[in-house]
Amino acid sequence: MQRQPMICAFATLLAALYLPVSLAQPEPRPTPSGLRYEDDSLFIRIVQRSPEQLTAFYLGRQFNQAAIEHILDTCFVTPIIHNKTFDVLWLELDTWQFSRGDEQIPRIKRDYWPEKWDRSGLPQAQRSTFGWTLMPEKRDLRRDEGVGGSVVIPWQQQPFTLRMNFHTGADKQGPLKTIVFEDIQCVTDTP
């Protein structure tokens, strides 16, 4: 008597496994707008933190006020990137461009910070903490890998554009993938 329900369950499982692929695929998701981008190969979300949020984060990690003031003089753009393909996606920050119209906005690189930390007397432990909050300068993203971190530019009073270029392929010989985010703003605290 118990064989009949098991056979039915097994048959149901086999039928589900052999459904046509088109029926098993989820429907395509619409491309989000604003500070999000998604297609079949890539997902990007840009997170912006207010000066109050940055202050709370770094105070919680025992940064002194002088170091926090140096941080607040800049603008943190924090992309979260996820490679959804089997191909290698190359993150290289030197290929990214921040701009407003024809004006290029320079990226603040890691070598900017040691002098600021020396002036503010920031201990090595906090310097290391700060380093791991930054986006890696170069990174290969394999299938289903993600990465996130802050990219720092000088404080901007007006909206700006971020053009992200990603080489593809194990040898970087695949097609260049370019994603453009427009009207990004440095976040201020609400009055």
Q: Copy the structure tokens of residue 34.
A: 């604003």
Asked if 165 contacts 176 with a C-beta cutoff of 8 angstroms, the reply is yes
In a domain, 18, yes or no: no
In a domain, 190, yes or no: no
In a domain, 12, yes or no: no
Angle between helix 51-59 and 65-72 (nearest 10) = 150
Which pLDDT score, from 0 to 100, does residue 9 have? Answer: 40
* pTM listed for this prediction: 0.79
* Domain membership of residue 165 as a residue range: 29-184
In a domain, 16, yes or no: no
Handedness of CA 70, 132, 59, 190 (dihedral sign): positive
**Distance of CA 103 to CAs 48, 72, 99, 160, 191, Å?**
22, 23, 6, 10, 30
In a domain, 105, yes or no: yes
Report the distance separating Cα 42 and Cα 124, nearest Å: 36
Which CATH number fits the domain that encloses residue 118?
Answer: 2.60.40
Phi and psi at 181, nearest 5°, equal -105, 125
- As for how many domains the chain has, the answer is 1
In a domain, 9, yes or no: no
pLDDT tens digits, the chain, 191 residues: what are they? 554 544 444 333 333 333 333 333 333 333 335 699 999 999 999 999 999 999 999 999 999 999 999 999 999 999 999 999 999 999 999 999 999 999 999 999 999 999 999 999 999 999 999 999 999 999 999 999 999 999 999 999 999 999 999 999 999 999 999 999 999 999 987 65
Asked if 142 contacts 83 with a C-beta cutoff of 8 angstroms, the reply is yes
Strand 177-184, strand 97-100: pairing = unpaired
In a domain, 71, yes or no: yes
In a domain, 118, yes or no: yes
Which pLDDT score, from 0 to 100, does residue 189 have? Answer: 77
